[in-house]
Amino acid sequence: MQLLLAYSFRNVWVRSSTTALTIAGLALVSLIFLAVLMLGNGLNRALIESGSPDNVLLLRKGATTEIASGIYRDQSHVVRTLAGIAPTSGGKPLAIPELVVLISLAKSGADTPANVVVRGTQPEAFVLRPQVRLIQGRAWEQGTAEVVIGAQIAKRFLPGGIGSHLRVGKRDWLVVGIAEAQGTAFESEIWGDADQLMATYGRDSYSSLTLRLSDSSAFQRIEESIAADARLLLHVKRERDYYREKSVTMATFIRLLGFTFTFIFALGAILGGTMTMYGAVASRTREIGMLRALGFPRRQILALFLVEALLLGALAGALAIGGGTVLQLVTISTMNFSTFSELAFRLTLTPLSALGTMGFALLISLLGGVPPAIRAARHTITHSIAYAR
């Protein structure tokens, strides 16, 4: 068996030109497959991981998004008195009512504007969402028209950064800080004072209320308390579940489109690999006859060519994964189908997606190598001698 493995490695090296072309084709298809997985990973990170498992989001009953929801001030006051809400360092309940609106901003270097989420909130939002942290400047002061912008907003819409002004509602707002959020959707948002934003838009209700649970069992207690209070016609949902629901439509569309193209290209790669291996069988008929004359059974001849095909697939998979590490530098900007707002996220390579890509590369190389391997195994000694003459 060791002899067969050494023989396979030697033949792959000897046929370097055709081998390189085959590996390149397999690697390209595998890279496309990996890119689809990385798109899904990045989207999940941007949306699903925006929500914390310890946070609960309250929306008006019947509303599916924050933008379409409404919570009155007196309702928010009642919710903040419920048991099961974690306290802040000052002893107040960590429950923040927020106003979410969309504004139109022009991208840097582009003529077409895009919708951007503006979130009116409170400074405690950084405690409620610890993944969001300031990397430049400071937080807004309450009662002022100051905002903190996400890193993706700064990069794509406001390259001037701190000191820039943007129009929100009927007022100009000053950018005083830039925040990162570990690649989540909050990097594509603008944060400012909730009361000032409500005054700007003439609103008397918030969009949502997000609170931190005091313990894992508090969710059911809060849900039952809100359901029992006729004043609170609110829907209770874990924050992570909310963002997971928002990602389903987009993730399904991306994966369906990506895997369709991957399937088409994979057929071409399998065909190319099959032709390459058929060529290898045709050029080594004499060698196959010699191996048969030395006593190697058909199953070992079959294994020989399958090992060569798998070796090509392994090299292609390694190249694709190497390309995937470079793709992590790419940021994708798209529209969130749920909120119709701008969403930017980075392609994300995970160990599971790398393993899946290697398995995919090995599979398509194996499928392409099976027919030539069967043909090689069927060669007889007399056939090989006749071919050599």
* DSSP states along 216-239: TTHHHHHHHHHHH-TT--EEEEEH
Between 308 and 177, the higher pLDDT residue: 177
Least confident of 42-56, 141-155, 176-190, 365-379: 365-379
| pLDDT exceeds cutoff 70 at 115 | yes
Confidence of residue 127 (pLDDT cuts 50, 70, 90): very high
Tokens 């849900």 appear where? Answer: 223
CB 78 within 8 A of CB 217: no
pLDDT of residue 6: 59
- Do 71 and 234 meet the contact criterion of CB atoms below 8 Å apart? yes
**How would residue 367 be classed by pLDDT, with cut points 50, 70 and 90?**
confident
Say yes or no to pLDDT of 68 above 70: yes
The percent of residues above 90 in pLDDT, for the chain, comes to 32
Closest by alpha carbon to 47, among 251, 200, 238?
251
| Least reliable range by pLDDT among 217-231, 278-292, 317-331 | 278-292
Q: What's the rounded mean pLDDT across residues 267-286?
A: 68
The arithmetic mean of pLDDT across residues 123-136, rounded, is 92
Average pLDDT of 271-297? 65
Q: Helix 285-293 and helix 381-388: axis angle, to 10°? A: 140
Cβ contacts of 203 within 8 Å, gap of 6 or more: 99, 197
Pick from 213, 245, 215, 243: nearest CA to 79: 213
For the chain, counts of helices (H) and of strands (E)? 12, 14
Sign of the Cα pseudo-torsion (154, 155, 161, 166, in order): negative
Half-sphere exposure (CA, 13 Å, Cβ side) for 355? 3
In the prediction, which pLDDT does 385 show?
47
Cα–Cα distance for residue pair 136/160, rounded to 1 Å:
13
What tokens appear for 356 in the block?
Answer: 């899946």
147, exposed or middle or buried, with CB in 10 Å at 0-12, 13-18, 19+? buried
Q: What is the mean pLDDT of residues 168-190?
A: 91
Distance CA 93, CA 279 (A): 73
Provide the CB-side half-sphere exposure for 187 (13 A, CA). Answer: 23
pTM for the whole structure: 0.77
Specify the range with the lowest mean pLDDT, choosing from 41-55, 111-125, 170-184, 214-228. 41-55
Q: In the prediction, which pLDDT does 323 show?
A: 93
Residue with structure tokens 């909130």? 121
Indicate whether 139 pLDDT > 80: yes
155-169, 202-216, 334-348: which range is least confident on average?
334-348
Question: Please, what's the b/e burial string for 324-356 (b: 16 or more CB within 10 A of its CB; e: otherwise)?
Answer: beebeeeeeebebebbebbbbbbbbbeeebbeb
133 forms bridges with which residues in the sheet? 180
Tell me the average pLDDT of the chain. 82
Mean pLDDT of 359-372: 83
What is the pLDDT at residue 23?
80
Distance between CA atoms of residues 53 and 65, nearest Å: 18
Of 212, 222, 220, the closest CA to residue 53 belongs to 212
Instruction: State what percent of residues in the chain have pLDDT above 70.
Output: 83
91 Rama class: left (phi>0) / alpha (psi -120 to 50) / beta? left
> What is the pLDDT averaged over residues 189-194?
94
Q: pLDDT-based confidence at 291, cuts 50/70/90? A: low
Length of the chain: 389
Residue 89: its pLDDT value, please?
Answer: 83
Please say if the pLDDT value at position 333 is more than 70: yes
8 A C-beta contact, residue 206 and residue 99: yes
Tell me which DSSP letter residue 112 carries.
S
pLDDT attached to residue 388: 45
Q: How far apart are CA 379 and CA 312, in angstroms?
A: 23
Q: Which of 37-41, 43-47, 242-246 has the lowest mean pLDDT?
A: 43-47
